[in-house]
Structure 1
Amino acid sequence: MSTTDSTSVDGPIAGCRPADVEPVVVDGTDLESTAPEYLRDLKSELSQRGYQPAALAVRACFAEDCSLATQEEADRLRGFVRAAAFLGAGRIEIAIEDVAEPETVEPAIAALSERAAREGVTLRLTGDAEIAG
């Protein structure tokens, strides 16, 4: 939890004006890579076509009751958080499909949420899997 005050958006919002771009949700499965070089080219191409990534949507699966597998999936998702920030998307939507052991997954999701906040990206969890917290 941060000890600093939240940034006020009132001033910047007051100066906002419409832009001639279409917000889009990028599906993580459509990305060839999360490498900066690829993302830079993708961001440029989207901009040239009048699109602005509003969100990045990915699927997650924590079906194995194994700390190592949970960490590997969390690492993969962290790459997508970085990709969302690089693309300028304000949100990452993670659809969690399966959770074998919620007690193992909860800390990984909490850390991912903190990382997303540091990157300026809102983390949104969806799906039928149960994760408390």
Structure 2
Amino acid sequence: MSTTERTGVEATIRRCRPADIQPIVIDGDDLESTAPGHLSDLKSALTERGYQPATITVEACFAADCTLATQEEADRLRGFVRAAAFLGAGRVELRIDEIADPERTEPALAALAERASREGVDLVRTGDPSRAG
């Protein structure tokens, strides 16, 4: 055991080598369920075939100007963050085409990003009208 303490990603990847596994992107619509039992079976089946989920893509819909609808959508998206963490995917990509009420939606998305960060998942927003130039 070394007396020199190594920290950070460099120490972890120092002796990395390629793996015979194919990274894939999963479309969230193609997941039958985000329940742990289903995800466990899916993870095993993907591993047997030599696949490793890298990203889960999800269409997010915040078109309704309603607090309840915003919360329901945030809860649905949280399921995909949990699924990504369970499957070992490091990224969830949200495709957002419309946001009816940014003042209502942004706190929900901020909470989702915080949750993703705690789960070790990077949350990326694309097509997001609230982030337009």
TM-score, L = length of structure 1: 0.91
Instruction: Provide the residue aligned with 2:12 in structure 1.
Output: 12
Q: Deviations over 1:91-113 (max 9, x none)?
A: 00010121001111110010000
Structure 1 unaligned regions, length at least 5 = 1-6
Deviation at 1:131, TM superposition (A): 4.3
Matches within 5 A, 1:83-102: 83-102=83-102
Superposition CA RMSD, Å: 1.2
Match of 1:33, SS state, is coil
Deviation at 1:16, TM superposition (A): 1.1
Instruction: Provide the residue aligned with 2:105 in structure 1.
Output: 105
CA distance in 1, matches of 2:90, 2:128: 23
Amino acid at match of 1:63: A
Moved over 4 A (4+): none
Instruction: Provide the residue aligned with 2:31 in structure 1.
Output: 31
CA distance in 1, matches of 2:97, 2:16: 37
CA distance in 2, matches of 1:43, 1:129: 34
Amino acid at match of 2:78: R
CA distance in 1, matches of 2:42, 2:95: 23
Greater radius of gyration (CA): 2
Instruction: Provide the residue aligned with 1:120 in structure 2.
Output: 120
Deviation at 1:8, TM superposition (A): 1.4
Amino acid at match of 1:26: I
TM-score, L = length of structure 2: 0.91
Identity score, percent: 67
Q: Deviations over 1:9-62 (max 9, x none)?
A: 111111211000000001100000000000000011001001000011100010
Tell me if the contact between 1:106 and 1:131 (Cα under 8 Å) persists in the aligned partners.
no
Deviation at 1:128, TM superposition (A): 4.2
Instruction: Provide the residue aligned with 2:3 in structure 1.
Output: none
CA distance in 1, matches of 2:15, 2:83: 28
Amino acid at match of 1:87: L
Amino acid at match of 1:20: D
Structure 2 unaligned regions, length at least 5 = 1-6
Instruction: Provide the residue aligned with 1:43 in structure 2.
Output: 43
Tell me if the contact between 1:102 and 1:131 (Cα under 8 Å) persists in the aligned partners.
no
CA distance in 1, matches of 2:39, 2:105: 28
